[in-house]
Chain A
């Protein structure tokens, strides 16, 4: 591979115990994500997409195998080091409840920068610029409850990309949106990927969303069932 891998998984397994029952969520997943990918993890519900994203983002730990982010072995990091890694290198977009309800759109975007120790002025400028980029100019002061579902997801994407993370992980970001709004969000993410070279990994079980992917990895029962690059753009 000519480009440097941001994420590199080798033979990762993850098992959940529920009482006596063991559920194998991931069963020997190996994967390289190079810089600049716009990668979709596709698979039916329960196939292991969320588990995989959580492991890559350092929210949870693998049972075996290794996960490297920018060459650092997540398994060897302490909880505190993982938190620092998430703060500096990973942007998250979840399916819903992404935002802190008591903070405005701008404050939500600023919040991560505050944790990173960015100065107030710079925080404000960057937050407003990125909110403009995602099409939310003039809505800086709205609280999440005053934004539509699509607008909330845009704020979440803005927050995820604002301080230039190595990778943005989005777990079914369009699952709670109608298809037009979902499409608009995917367009916006795609343009972030193209314009700024932000690496995205997102999960979905929606055909329409898969069509946006530059690379499509199919997950079945915790295994990689297919990995295809799709240079031609889908415009459906």
Chain B
């Protein structure tokens, strides 16, 4: 009957109840929706970063990142394979690369690029390049002279399929090594910067050019989920001779992505705070109003022998119902709007200039996330009940005599 009473009480003033509900619904919805949008944006950003030759985990020679020359290489890649393969979770992929700085020349143009020697088959499962060739063909294994060039670079160089590009870099012997390649394919990437930076050749071609027998400069691992990164990297670190090798995760390799994600998390947190404070004021005010309208009633309940705790419980039950209805509707609305926009995305062109600079897409695809969901609901629910304690305790404090004298 106490529950029934609370339920009926919230409908005594339907307009007021609808006002609170609207506040809770908008609050919960905005938390879910904004959270999902932010998560979508940062996840896309992270995906792009990871697929642009980063992966979740990389193994290098410890000096390679500060001095990326062929001398700082992994001399015995077999050891990495031995250490890595047993601990990779199912669904993982990994590959090896030779990555060196080089100068690309055509008859009229020259530009610094990153030359990447890949195992075409394995690389396709780890990074974007497998599906990125839009003109011509992807590399055949062991193609000795084929090269993949980015669309933007091809345009800068005024070159096209089947034309020659000469690459120069420092070989293993410390002397300049050069080799002429033929453009087999032109690839597109999320950003022009990527298209202009990377050129892909087969591992065999890169080794041949640099005078290398068996080494690689990096091993890159793509895991089935971001969450596995830390654990896998730690396990790998224990199994590898570090130094001379070093294990890094995308957090180390993509500092800008990491900082951006942290920034967005902070933003979401602040948004939650703002929404919650606004909502809390709404809840407290309306409940106080409701409590003060019913002073006589609380006095009556106390006169009848109800303990203050019972009155607190009664008011909290009312608040519980309001929060329950509000969060339920807010969740429904959140899921609905996110699902509606998950396909088409939200055009963020107004911000796009800035987003594109750091390699983010112009269209945001909101992504629901169990964590964000839970957080929004727990925040609203738990804190909602906590702030309701104030009006509830107020209601329990009226003494029967003053309450009954109240008109």
- Residues of A whose CB lies within 8 Å of any CB of B are 54, 57, 59-60, 80, 83-88, 90, 92, 94, 97-98, 100-103, 107, 110-112, 114-115
CB of B296 closer than 8 Å to a CB of A: yes
Chain A residues near B303 (CB-CB < 8 A) = 57, 59, 86, 92, 94
Chain B residues near A111 (CB-CB < 8 A) = 1, 304
Chain B residues near A83 (CB-CB < 8 A) = 302, 305-307
CB of B87 closer than 8 Å to a CB of A: no
Residues of B1-58 contacting chain A, CB below 8 A: 1-2, 4-5, 8-9, 12
Task: Give the residue among B8, B12, B301, B303 with the most A Cβ atoms within 10 A.
Answer: B303
Cβ of B304 and Cβ of A86 under 8 Å apart? yes
Chain A residues near B401 (CB-CB < 8 A) = 54, 59-60
Can you list 13 contacts pairing A with B, beta carbon distance less than 8 Å? A80-B307, A87-B306, A92-B303, A97-B296, A100-B300, A102-B9, A103-B1, A110-B1, A112-B305, A114-B2, A115-B304, A115-B305, A115-B306
Given the complex of chains A and B, what is the CA–CA distance between A59 and B305 in angstroms?
10
Given the complex of chains A and B, what is the CA–CA distance between A107 and B2 in angstroms?
11
Given the complex of chains A and B, what is the CA–CA distance between A97 and B305 in angstroms?
17
Q: Which chain B residue lies CB-closest to A82?
A: B305
5 cross-chain pairs, A with B, having the tightest CB-CB distances, nearest first: A87-B305, A102-B8, A86-B305, A59-B400, A60-B401
Task: Give the residue among A80, A98, A115 with the most B Cβ atoms within 10 A.
Answer: A115
User: Shortest distance in angstroms between B384's beta carbon and chain A's nearest beta carbon?
Assistant: 22
Given A59-B404, A101-B12, A107-B4, 7 other A-B residues pairs in contact with their CB atoms under 8 A = A59-B401, A83-B302, A86-B303, A94-B300, A94-B404, A97-B296, A114-B1
Q: Using an 8 Å CB-CB cutoff, how does the interface string of B299-333 with A read, 1 for contact, 0 for none?
A: 01111111100100000000000000000000000
Q: Given A54-B401, A59-B400, A60-B401 in contact, is the A100-B307 Cβ separation under 8 Å?
A: no
Given the complex of chains A and B, what is the CA–CA distance between A86 and B297 in angstroms?
16
Chain A residues near B297 (CB-CB < 8 A) = 97, 100-101
Residues of B58-90 contacting chain A, CB below 8 A: none
Q: Which chain B residue lies CB-closest to A143?
A: B8
Chain A residues near B9 (CB-CB < 8 A) = 102
User: Shortest distance in angstroms between B401's beta carbon and chain A's nearest beta carbon?
Assistant: 5
